[in-house]
Amino acid sequence: MLGLLLPSLALASVVSSATTCKCLYNDSCFPTSAEWDAFSKNLSQPVLQDQKPLNAVCFKDSGVYDADACAQVTANVVNPPFLTSKPNCLGFVNLEALVVNDTVQYCPRPFYDGETTCDQGRIPKFLVNATSVDDIQKTLQYATDHNLKLVVRNTGHELMGRSGGSQSLELYVNNFKNIDFDEQFVPEGAPEGTASEYAVTLGAGVQWFEIYAAADAKNRLVPGGFSPDGTVGAAAGWVLGGGHSVLSPFYGLGVDNVLQFTAVLPNGTLATLNKYKNPDLFWAFRGGGGPSFGIVTSTTYRTHENPPITAVFYAAQANGSAAYEQLLTTWMAQHNDIADAGWAGVWPFLANTFYLTFFTPGNPPQNPAANATMDKFFAASRAIPGVTVSLALSKVYPSFQQWNLDNLVNSQYGYGFNWTAGSENTTATSSWLMPRTLTAARNAAQLGRLFANLSVAVPYMVGGGAVAAVGPDETAVTPAWRTSVSDMTVLPGFATGGAAALTVGALDAMYQSAYDQIQPLRALAPPPAGGQYLNEPDMLEENWQAAYWGDAHYARLLAIKKEVDPRDLLIVKKGVNSEGWDDELLCKTT
């Protein structure tokens, strides 16, 4: 029976190799309902059994059909605050799909006429809704004792579907919402006399919209993610993978701002990780990827002063591919200078249109070169034949939070690229960290030509400055982060859609397109000079160890992983020590 679930690769592998599997739903080893009930007595609330995918409420014979609930899901089908608050879905429905023998098994969302089949797909049937550290410890113990496949879900934003999985038990950690400021925080175990810092400790489930508001109320700032409504998690997957922010050039990556984690290790131990206690694990947690090394229960960040910011918004349309290429070339010729003049932000381009959503700290800008450097680009772009600059606006905000609210939350107050209008039901991503030697002015024409060929690009200028000031080996993230200024991200699923069932062909084409569009950058800047951001992963990346971490960091991560998780309890796709596991992490061939 297990053979049914083996991927063809495993079936084709050499005869002498041995395969071991997790205990799967239909196996005799799998807990009975009575056993789940017994386990439930150990938890703050019972295990949810026979969970269905979110959109099952739209299907007449699902057993949970409910017209009102269906209308609610349909109205919120691409609404991140709604989706991140539900434990039985992922951010994009294609990530819920399981491809079995050329068929796509999933529960279509949105529901559309003619569709009758709602499959479980990659949504777990069993769910622990954790509210205490003890719940997490008991769940790890139970999953270990029963050899269960465990997945960890915070917001479900992860872009490869790592926070879901078929045949698994889901540990839902989004309820940990504590936010505790400490003006004089000193890490546990620090030597006598260690200077204190103004810090904030966040429960694993806190999301950026929550901490941005709480920090601003204290007139402090924590560098965090850029997402519509701020729904990305602030203390878990984002930071475990590195965590980039439009504030990073001024204050560092997420991992550079962590003073301490508390986490439940795979063996159930609740541990404190910082510079002084468990320094190897502290290193691995800062970029090694969630949940490979343990379950974070809280993350302590240093906070920063909260200056006013000077923002610019820009949009330009090209009348054809020649002008578009020249516009992108003109931008690339000034790209590194713009970063060095103190600017950070996002520079999306698609369909012959180029945008900037940028800012620099201070009013007037703290960096005296900021204004003239940006104005120089505006002027140069206006001089390109066939380019129409429709927006070039400078606007001062009293704080980052006001900028965030006006552009990423209540976007009717925003300008230029509309960040809240772009959500889609399906997505594919790929990314590449471009070293500043590649984005140097001398390569502008080459990159302009290459970029003009991308479908939907959302590059983040989040490197340089404070990110570059941190040593390449101080954290586990790829050393490419320390020498890159911009993170090129492509999202080919972003602008597609249509009310039809997902097919293997459509999924493959979307993933292949993401991979292909990044391919020239892989070739121009191979690891470790370039690399992929593991939180913006490519489904098809082959050389993922080197791309996410670089070979040297990967070797160190692998050694730590084998020690802390010898039984492969917390393995995710293309995560540390996932070699030999199939794509669903059900069976391992050694």
Ligand X SMILES: *[C@@H]1O[C@H](CO)[C@@H](O)[C@H](O)[C@H]1NC(C)=O
Ligand Y SMILES: Cc1cc2nc3c(=O)[nH]c(=O)nc-3n(C[C@H](O)[C@H](O)[C@H](O)COP(=O)(O)OP(=O)(O)OC[C@H]3O[C@@H](n4cnc5c(N)ncnc54)[C@H](O)[C@@H]3O)c2cc1C
Residue 514 interaction partner, one of ligand X, ligand Y, none, beta carbon < 5-8 Å per kind: none
> Please, what is the minimum distance in Å from the beta carbon of residue 205 to ligand Y?
8
> Please, what is the minimum distance in Å from the beta carbon of residue 288 to ligand X?
14
- 193, 221 Cβ separation under 8 angstroms: no
- Residue 288 touches ligand X, criterion: CB under 6 A: no
d(CA 92, CA 272): 34
Residue 394, strand partner residues: 312
Q: Which of 100, 117, 6 is nearest to 52 (CA)?
A: 117
- Residue 124 touches ligand Y, criterion: CB under 6 A: no
HEC per residue, 275-332: CCCCHHHHHHHCCCCCCCCCEEEEEEEECECCCCEEEEEEEEEECCHHHHHHHHHHHH
Among 13, 19, 79, 131, binds ligand X (CB under 6 A): 131
Residue 152 interaction partner, one of ligand X, ligand Y, none, beta carbon < 5-8 Å per kind: ligand Y
- Residue 229 touches ligand Y, criterion: CB under 6 A: no
Residues 48-77 that bind ligand X (CB under 6 A): 77
Residue 15 interaction partner, one of ligand Y, ligand X, none, beta carbon < 5-8 Å per kind: none
Name the phi and psi angles at 447, rounded to 5. -70, -35
Reported for 27-32, long-range contacts at CB under 8 A and 24+ positions apart, including other chains, are: 27/1, 27/2, 29/146, 29/147, 30/146, 30/148, 31/146, 31/148
Degrees, nearest 5: CA angle 115-121-122: 145
Residue 85 interaction partner, one of ligand X, ligand Y, none, beta carbon < 5-8 Å per kind: none
Q: Are strands 460-461 and 98-100 parallel, antiparallel or unpaired?
A: unpaired
- Residue 535 touches ligand Y, criterion: CB under 6 A: yes
Residue 155 interaction partner, one of ligand X, ligand Y, none, beta carbon < 5-8 Å per kind: ligand Y
> Please, what is the minimum distance in Å from the beta carbon of residue 516 to ligand X?
4
Who's near 96: CB < 8 A, 6+ residues apart? 53, 89, 90, 106, 107, 109, 121, 122, 123, 161, 164
- Residue 411 touches ligand X, criterion: CB under 6 A: yes
**Residue corresponding to tokens 């005799």:** 28
Segment near ligand X (CB under 6 A); pick from 12-20, 264-272, 284-292, 332-340: 264-272
User: Mask: binding to ligand X, 514-533, rule CB under 6 A, as x and -?
Assistant: --xx----------------
Residue 41: Cβ within 10 Å count: 7
Among 78, 204, 539, 547, binds ligand X (CB under 6 A): 78
- 548, 289 Cβ separation under 8 angstroms: yes
CA dihedral of residues 281, 282, 284, 289 (deg, nearest 10): 120
Residue 249, strand partner residues: none
Q: Which is nearer to ligand Y, 156 or 187 (CB)?
A: 156
> Please, what is the minimum distance in Å from the beta carbon of residue 151 to ligand X?
15
Residue 153, strand partner residues: 172
Segment near ligand X (CB under 6 A); pick from 199-207, 239-247, 315-323, 570-578: 315-323
Which stretches of the chain bind ligand X, using CB under 6 A?
4, 25-26, 38-39, 42, 77-78, 87, 100-101, 110, 129, 131, 138, 142, 175, 265, 267, 269, 310, 312, 319-320, 323, 371, 374-375, 385-386, 394, 411-412, 414, 418, 420-421, 425, 450, 453, 497-499, 516-517, 563-564
Which stretches of the chain bind ligand Y, using CB under 6 A?
91, 152-159, 162-163, 173, 204, 225-227, 232-233, 236-238, 240-241, 243-244, 290-291, 295-296, 535-536, 572
